[in-house]
A and B are shown apart, each in its own frame.
Chain A
Amino acid sequence: MSETIKYTDEEIVEKVRSNDRDIYAVIIERYKNALLRYTTSLVHDEDMASHIVQDSLIKAYTNLNGFNTKKKFSSWIYRIAHNEAMNMLKKYQREVSIPDDIDFESDEDITKDFEKKETSLHVTECLRSIPVIYSAPLSLYYLEAMSYEEISDILRIPMGTVATRMSRAKKLMKHICQKN
């Protein structure tokens, strides 16, 4: 198993496809915690999130031949987990509405101040309070350290939309978290 550390995700996928099924365990180990963190930030329920992670990893395995190894596996697996979480959310409709008194057009530079003050734990707590279309890109950027391009791939939205949602999400976070 230690030899497998040097392999990239895409190389492992190629090996699994070539009938080395056991090596898929490496993929699971690499992603299960990160996917749990991300899906928990979407559905706000750890048990539900672990079901989503398991289903996503199974779905990824069964559709492994549909994955293009020239693309990033991480974006693909996050995309599957995101879809599974969205399906779950539709069932339970846990989203909250955006407060009416938020001014998205404000030019106030709150980003630097926000980034300095908030800890990862506090961010996670605050993420629970904002709608998923804003919390998803924020989680991927701050908690999963994804680039805008990767977020664009995962959420299937243009990079400009990612930037807009990020900006609005930060304002929402500031507004909501400062109340708490």
Chain B
Amino acid sequence: MSKELKNITDNIMDQIHEEKIKIRPKIYFITGSILTFIGLVSSVVISVFLVGLIRFSLRTHGPMGSYRLDQIFSSFPWWTPVLATVGLVVGIWLLRKYDFSFKVNFKVIIIGFILAVIVGGWIIDSVGLNDVLTRQGPMQGMMREYMHDNYIQSNGQGWGRNRGD
């Protein structure tokens, strides 16, 4: 056995008594848990909305594939995928940092997250929740701006292009 190990108890206890090492307060972990939760929920909400927006955009911009792709690239709110990615990365980093004993397979989390987002986005778009989002909720402003920029109007029965375009 090494000499260091024999002294390890004294070394650590001395550091504790001299307050060189301290127990982190509970608030540190509570804050971490809250941030993790908020980060992951925000990431899911934004990403689901994003998938809905992509499907909507593909439907509303005519039959020409290249034209639709150009439209998406030119009018796409690029800050949202960046925010979603940052949210996911920060969320997983926080999970690792704040809970040492949390048994989790991060590959499964990421794959599950992506599937949940795609299915959620598809469902939101299919059931017409996008229309609700244009009238109320936190995405209202963004959706209206997107529709205004792309000359799209809501006719109460779903979204469509202005006839004048």
Contacts and interface: CB of A to CB of B under 8 A. Distances in A.
Interface of A: 16-17, 21-22, 24-25, 28-29, 32-33, 36, 46-47, 50-51, 53-54, 57-58, 61-68, 71, 75-76, 79-80, 83, 152-153, 156-158
Contacts of B17: 21
B149 interface: no
B79 interface: no
Contact of A65 (B2, B5, B23): B23
Given A25-B12, A54-B12, A62-B21, 19 more contacts: A22-B13, A24-B12, A25-B13, A29-B9, A46-B1, A46-B2, A50-B5, A54-B4, A62-B22, A65-B24, A65-B29, A66-B24, A66-B99, A67-B101, A68-B101, A76-B101, A79-B100, A156-B103, A156-B104
A50 B8 contact: yes
Interface of B: 1-2, 4-5, 8-9, 11-13, 15-17, 21-26, 28-29, 98-101, 103-105
A104 B126 CA distance: 48
A36 B5 CA distance: 8
Contacts of B11: 54
Contacts of B9: 25, 28-29, 32
6 contacts: A32-B9, A50-B4, A64-B23, A80-B100, A156-B105, A158-B105
A28 to B, nearest CB: 5
Contacts of A33: 1, 5
B105 A57 contact: no
Contacts of B21: 58, 61-62
B24 A62 contact: yes
B8 A53 contact: yes
Nearest to B11: A54
A16 B22 CA distance: 11
Contact of A57 (B4, B12, B29): B12
Given A22-B13, A50-B5, A57-B8, A65 B25 contact: yes
A30 to B, nearest CB: 11
Contact of A24 (B2, B13, B104): B13
Nearest to A17: B23
Could you say which of A22, A65, A68 has the most chain B C-beta atoms within 10 Å of its C-beta? A65
Contacts of B8: 28, 32, 50, 53-54, 57
Contacts of B26: 65
Shortest 5 CB-CB contacts between residues of A and residues of B: A50-B4, A50-B5, A66-B29, A76-B101, A28-B9
A79 B23 contact: no
B72 to A, nearest CB: 39
Contact of B16 (A32, A61, A83): A61
A21 to B, nearest CB: 5
